Amino acid sequence: MSSTASRRPTRSITDPRPASNRSDRRERRDRRALLAGAAVVAALGLAGCASGGGTSADGSAASAAPGSSSPSPTASASAPAPSPDPQDPDAPAGQCADDELKVAVTEDAGGAAAGSIGYRVSFTNTGSAACELRGYPGVSVVGHGDGTQLGEPAERPGASGPAIEAVDIPVGQSVAASMTVVNLGSDGGALGCATEQGDGWRVYPPHSFAAVFVPDAGVAACDDSQVWMHLTAPVAAR
């Protein structure tokens, strides 16, 4: 027997499959890995949606608690009653309601001195119960077809004027305040002011904030800062 042992021929270990097959297997493994990753991402996204979270417009996460919802508005039990029209605190307790007064401005023959015209500013109670007025009305001339005040309003007497008392007005009865107006004519009368034709009178009942328009196509106004109308007596039975 020979001292040198017989050896098996050495065989190189090589993959008998073509290289193209090995490349296909790697591509399939890569695709499976990508698909698995996409499935994980999708599952996480669905979990986020289920938890009520979202994304704000700037990309930050919205802070909504799971299962929470915005509270619905609670309706008030009842609407508050509308406030009454504002009234002068000095008005008498039984002050006549504005919508229950008929207002008129009429000439009072013999109620003024020469160069002036006398007027009665009257208030008739058209309501269903007696009511009261006290003091002086507010009077001005308006024009331009839109209620623009022309000139100065009627001036009230100061503390030296007649005493002021509340006057009771039965249903259907009237009271009146007295007023004198400079007879302006066409040349401004004794005042010599420029005149402007008015549409009528704007009258505020005593202690009222609601004006009444009384049409009078014949009324004129002194179109400057001079006072040509003077209230001379408060409302009273006349």
Note the pLDDT tens digit of each residue in 40-60: 444 444 444 333 333 333 333
Rg of the chain over Cα atoms, rounded to whole angstroms, equals: 49
pTM for the structure as a whole: 0.63
Region 88-105: what's the mean pLDDT?
A: 90
Model confidence band, residue 91 (pLDDT cutoffs 50, 70, 90): confident
Separation of alpha carbons 188 and 192, rounded Å: 4
Quick one: which of 203, 136, 210, 125 has its CA closest to 168? 125
Contact at 8 Å (CB) between 181 and 188?
no
Q: Residue 31 pLDDT more than 50?
A: yes
Which ranges in 4-152 belong to alpha helices (H)? 19-50
Q: Residue 227 pLDDT more than 60?
A: yes
- Give the dihedral sign, CA 155/161/166/170: negative
User: pLDDT over 90 for what percent of the chain?
Assistant: 55
Report the Cα–Cα distance between both ends of the chain, in Å, rounded.
Answer: 167
Model confidence band, residue 66 (pLDDT cutoffs 50, 70, 90): very low
